[in-house]
A = this chain, B = another copy of it.
Amino acid sequence: MKNNCAIILAAGEGTRMKTSKPKVLAEVLFKPMLDWVVDRTRQSGVEDICVVTGHLSESIVTHLDEGIETIMQHERLGTGHAVMQAKDFIARHGDANVLVLAGDAPLVDAASISSALKLHKRALNAATVISAKVENPFGYGRILRDRDGALLRIVEERDATDAQKAITEVNSGAYWFKAQALLTALEQLQTAHKMSPPGKSKEYYLTDTIAILAKLNLDVTAFDARTSHVVLGANDRVQLAALNEIARREELNRHMLNGVSIPCADGIIIGPDVEIGADTLILPGSILRGKVTVGTGCTIGPNALIENSFVGNGVCLNATQCAESSVADGAQIGPFVRIRPGSTIGACTRIGNFVEIKNANVGAETKIAHLSYIGDADVVQDVNIGCGCATVNYTGKEKHRTVIKDGAFIGCNTNLIAPVTIGKDAYTAAGSTVTEDVPDNALAIARARQVNKKDWVSTKKPYKRQNV
């Protein structure tokens, strides 16, 4: 089979975004727009991708994964000129089809891309433009058809007559080309246009390739994607917010139809790479970003922030922030808990308020109920850690690990000075600073005896009661 390829245009500056980053790295649901376009391209079955960079090229090249080619457009002379830079890339796919996509139109979907390709191949087209009807076509290239509905050409806003401006079918900026036809059209592309904006170099419009190919009596078609999402881009942060809202609502609906309960969607942002099981309840203010899997029957939120993590079934994550970690079935966590990267939380473990877990393995059936920090630690299982405990993992120079074995009981306000091991079923007395290993079954105690100084308060009067 012929090896189709894709060119993604990512050179734009996006001045109105007022950003020091490349425009195509602006995020929708915490995922750069360019990554949406790359992922959708791959989902539609196209693997060979060339990204045309320009403004802040370096950051884009660094951002992309290694499998993607990049080519620099040194002068910004329009979309046609951008595609010209990829001439060699196109030539290498000379007997296949080339998908051209805008790097700042993240909501183009794989189904539309694939359906357009099917039509493109069946109709033996030289070019197939993906179009959509929109309510307000202002700013978009209009799709001009003849009386029979055949595509004639695309006319840009600035070149359109009033009659043409009334057309609501617009260009998405996504196209399929036969590679050879695209190369031919690019060679004939010219800059002459009625009205170039003052102070701007004349531009080569990729849209003009359609008219060129039509004049050569090659078949060109507009494929109506029947969803305005394919055309949507963002030129400023208000439009970026609108894209986010559309994508957000789509994701929420997808999960609800899968059986996820969302009684109030306010403040809930679920990224495109998140899977959630049925009968899970998501409460307001919860953000799930990056690659996240959540099982069935969980309660997530309110105000959970979960990032690149795995969460089993029947888990509760109440007002908990959890990053790059995994939480096993039945764990009850929160409120006000933070699980930092590199942690695994065992099944049915209970982690209560004001607890931080960092780079630690916490085994099943363990209880860490309050106000503790467990970092760089291996807690085997069925351990009870009292209130206010700390693994003292940092000497100022190095970090060391703490090991707490099966069934140990760590008394309140215990300091565990790592490296240290607490034995199986061992016990530490509340208020102890434990510097040496504690054998299995032993009690470690390190504290001073209590002395009561009688009448000390009436004599010394160290403080005054407020209401006496």
Contacts and interface: CB of A to CB of B under 8 A. Distances in A.
Interface of A: 17-21, 26-30, 236-238, 240-241, 244-245, 248, 253, 256-269, 278-279, 283-285, 287, 297, 302-303, 305, 318-319, 321, 335-336, 338, 352-354, 356, 365, 370-373, 381-382, 384, 386-388, 390, 392, 394-397, 407, 409, 411-413, 415, 417, 425-427, 429-436, 438-439, 441-458, 460-468
A444 B431 CA distance: 15
A461 B398 CA distance: 12
16 contacts: A17-B259, A237-B261, A241-B265, A266-B285, A321-B335, A336-B354, A354-B356, A370-B373, A386-B394, A392-B430, A427-B462, A429-B433, A443-B456, A444-B451, A444-B453, A446-B447
A457 to B, nearest CB: 5
| Number of identical monomers bound together in the oligomeric complex | 3
B442 A407 contact: no
B353 A356 contact: yes
A458 B438 contact: no
Given A18-B278, A442-B453, A448-B448, A267 B287 contact: no
Given A431-B433, A452-B442, A371 B396 contact: no
Contact of A267 (B18, B285, B407): B285
Contacts of A267: 264, 266-267, 284-285, 302
A445 B257 CA distance: 61
B20 A279 contact: yes
Contact of A370 (B18, B353, B356, B409): B356
Given A441-B456, A445-B451, A390 B382 contact: no
A462 B396 contact: yes
Contacts of A319: 303, 305, 321
Contacts of A427: 396, 456-457, 462-463
Contact of A468 (B287, B396, B407): B407
A430 B415 contact: yes
B450 A433 contact: yes
Contact of A258 (B18, B407, B442): B18
Contact of A354 (B20, B238, B371): B371
A417 B462 CA distance: 14
A396 B466 CA distance: 10
A87 B12 CA distance: 62
A357 to B, nearest CB: 10
Nearest to A367: B466
B457 A426 contact: yes
Contacts of A26: 261
A444 B450 CA distance: 7
A209 B376 CA distance: 70
B415 A435 contact: no
A252 to B, nearest CB: 8
Contacts of A245: 264
Contact of A373 (B240, B371, B429): B371
A446 B450 contact: yes
Q: Return the 9 tightest CB-CB contacts between A and B, nearest first.
A: A396-B463, A18-B259, A431-B433, A267-B284, A443-B456, A237-B256, A446-B450, A266-B267, A387-B390
